[in-house]
Amino acid sequence: MTDAPSNRKRSSVRRANVTACQRCKSRKQRCDQNIPACSSCARARVPCVSVDVDGQSVPRSYIKNLEDRVAELELALRNQGAETESVVSRASQDALNSTPEAQSSNDLNLLRLLVPRPNDVQHPQDSAYHALLDTITVPDTIKFPPKHTAIQLTATYFEHSNFFSPVLDQISFDNTITILYQDQTSPGQGTSVQRFQLCMVLAIAIRLLNRTDSSVPTTASDSFFASAIGILTERPQASWSGDLDHLQNLLLIVQYTIFASNLSAAWHFTGLATRLAIDLDLLNETRLSVVDDAHENEAEVNKRRRVFWSTYILETNLCVIFNRPRSIPDEAIFTALPSTGGPESSSPLANHCILFRQLEYEIFHTLNYKTPANGSFFDYKTWKMGMKDRLVEWHANVPALNPISKLAPQNFFDGALYMTLVSLLSPSRHFPRLSEDELRDLAQYASTSIELLQRGFQRRKVEVLLANDAQSVPIWCSFNPLH
């Protein structure tokens, strides 16, 4: 009976420091803030999860269990004759001194500065990039695999990347592996950037293998990614140097977060990448300085072009998925496509994917955004007919494909054509009603898309990627380069 006032005091303090749970926030309904679960979550029989001051997701039941445990410990201390108030005061001061702000040497402080706090974004419940950082445990040492394994995983990475987003040059990266594996007994003697990029390539490659074979575990991928983050935070000035290598490092993180099914993290790191690309003036090569060595200049120009267009591809794809505007409009780009031959070149397939992304975003932009602000007349019907012809022409000029590739499937271009035609002909802001001919064409394209989708399921080339708003967003491996 003597403990009743203390219990009532703890209950009031607890209630005052708890905000609405994530489920009530997402449903925009009032939360009674009960512990261990609010009434709404209790009725739905789902976990009641809230966000603490650090932006971390914490179950309400966990909070109650901790408070109950604290109460038990306080009672045990009082039975031993100790003053609990002084103990709690010292513990609070210790906790304050151990916050991320006080620990400037915290390994993850650098990355936390690169993403906004959950409370500052439009949908705080979608801020899963903080969960990505919170789950990282940086290992003390990096354990690279044997050289033959690293070469096999690297080949897997480039089989996909050379098709969809050629962030790195394969020949240059082969030289990196040679340098890192000079000492077979102790690999990893190169620069911090080389070690970071190898860790990221290995992490992404394992994720890619898991996409085609779910029995492949991703534990090693998580470990390599954690090692890469450890390299970044150990010597940030070497990796975050504000140059083209810096941009490549950001794009590797974007690729990893995409394959780790964390599109929220991919979106925010893509934003960092696009802004750096603008700072480096990669979108306007007319101001590119010319060096004396013609061969070196060709390699540098190709590298700038390839990395810029990789940034373009990744951002455009995410913008269409998230229904958000792009940061670099096509009208501002004065950079040619990468060369398909010579040092630091790209592949014909990658260039063809760039052309598709341009068409895809033009459709998305025209159908969903306002008419031109200059007041000029825009004939949407003529544009729609012309866009249909452009899509068919793009599909007719697909370069030769590798018939044995599992990560660059042949039916990608067929699926891309018909899925985009469905988007083009579906009702939209400027086309709320369709004619009978348009409805007939739309039904035909949708039917073909479904047939291709069914074939993909039969061949185990279609998977479902869960977005961070807990809603299912289907992204087809055989249709969409996010997989």
pLDDT tens profile 253-307: 999 999 888 888 899 899 999 999 999 999 998 876 544 444 458 888 899 999 9
First to last CA, the chain: 61
| pLDDT for res 439 | 92
Collect all residues with Cβ–Cβ distance below 8 Å to 457 and sequence separation of at least 6: none
DSSP code of 406? S
pTM: predicted TM-score of the whole model, two decimal places: 0.67
Indicate whether 5 pLDDT > 80: no
Identify the residue whose tokens are 């102790």: 186
48-79: pLDDT as tens digits: 887 665 556 667 666 667 777 787 787 777 77
| Token pair listed for 76 | 């045990």
DSSP code of 214? T
| pLDDT for res 2 | 44
Rounded Cα gap, residues 21 and 33, in angstroms = 7
Partnered with residue 465 across adjacent β-strands are 473
111-130: pLDDT as tens digits: 444 444 444 444 444 444 44
Share of the chain above pLDDT 70, in %: 70
Rounded Cα gap, residues 140 and 146, in angstroms = 19
CB-based contact 167:214 (threshold 8 Å):
no
What SS3 class is residue 49?
strand
Residue 363 confidence class, pLDDT cut points 50, 70, 90: very high
Partnered with residue 437 across adjacent β-strands are none
Phi and psi at 105, nearest 5°, equal -95, 5
Helices (H) and strands (E) in the chain, counts: 19, 4
422-434: pLDDT as tens digits: 999 998 888 888 8
Instruction: Residue 188: name the closest of 249, 217, 137, 145 by CA.
Output: 145
Rounded Cα gap, residues 153 and 150, in angstroms = 5
- In angstroms, the Cα distances linking 471 to 9, 23, 43, 464, 466 are 40, 13, 21, 11, 7
Angle (nearest 5°) at CA 133 between 477 and 106: 155
Rounded Cα gap, residues 149 and 144, in angstroms = 9
Share of the chain above pLDDT 90, in %: 30
Burial of 388 (0-12, 13-18, 19+ CB in 10 A): middle
Residue 409 confidence class, pLDDT cut points 50, 70, 90: low
CB-based contact 19:49 (threshold 8 Å):
no
pLDDT (mean) for 234-240:
71
Indicate whether 16 pLDDT > 50: no
| Token pair listed for 479 | 């249709």
Single-letter amino acid code for the residue at 133: L
CB-based contact 176:168 (threshold 8 Å):
no
| pLDDT for res 170 | 93
If you average pLDDT over every residue of the chain, what do you get? 76
Indicate whether 1 pLDDT > 50: no
Other beta carbons less than 10 A from residue 192's beta carbon:
15
The answer, yes or no, to whether the previous bond of 427 is cis (omega within 30 of 0) is no
pLDDT (mean) for 460-481:
34
Weakest-pLDDT range from 16-30, 94-108, 385-399, 408-422? 94-108
Burial of 441 (0-12, 13-18, 19+ CB in 10 A): middle
CB-based contact 474:465 (threshold 8 Å):
yes
Residue 140 confidence class, pLDDT cut points 50, 70, 90: low
In which element (H, E) is residue 59 found?
strand 57-59
User: In terms of residues, how long is the chain?
Assistant: 483
Residue 104 confidence class, pLDDT cut points 50, 70, 90: very low
CA–chain centroid gap for 312, Å, is 14
| pLDDT for res 481 | 40
| pLDDT for res 82 | 64
| pLDDT for res 83 | 58
Torsion angle, CA of 109/228/237/277, rounded to 10 degrees? -100
Torsion angle, CA of 371/376/382/388, rounded to 10 degrees? -50
Rounded Cα gap, residues 398 and 281, in angstroms = 30
Residue 475 confidence class, pLDDT cut points 50, 70, 90: very low
pLDDT (mean) for 131-149:
66
Residue 107 confidence class, pLDDT cut points 50, 70, 90: very low
CA–chain centroid gap for 158, Å, is 19
Instruction: Report CA Rg, the chain.
Output: 26
| Token pair listed for 340 | 């398909």
310-348: pLDDT as tens digits: 999 999 999 998 889 999 989 999 999 989 888 888 888
Instruction: Residue 310: name the closest of 397, 396, 252 by CA.
Output: 252
177-231: pLDDT as tens digits: 999 998 766 666 788 899 999 999 999 999 988 887 778 888 888 889 988 988 8
- In angstroms, the Cα distances linking 415 to 66, 339, 474 are 52, 26, 14
Identify the residue whose tokens are 């271009």: 413
DSSP code of 334? B
Collect all residues with Cβ–Cβ distance below 8 Å to 324 and sequence separation of at least 6: 267, 318
DSSP per residue, 59-87: EHHHHHHHHHHHHHHHHHHHHTT--HHHH
| pLDDT for res 419 | 92
CB-based contact 433:447 (threshold 8 Å):
no
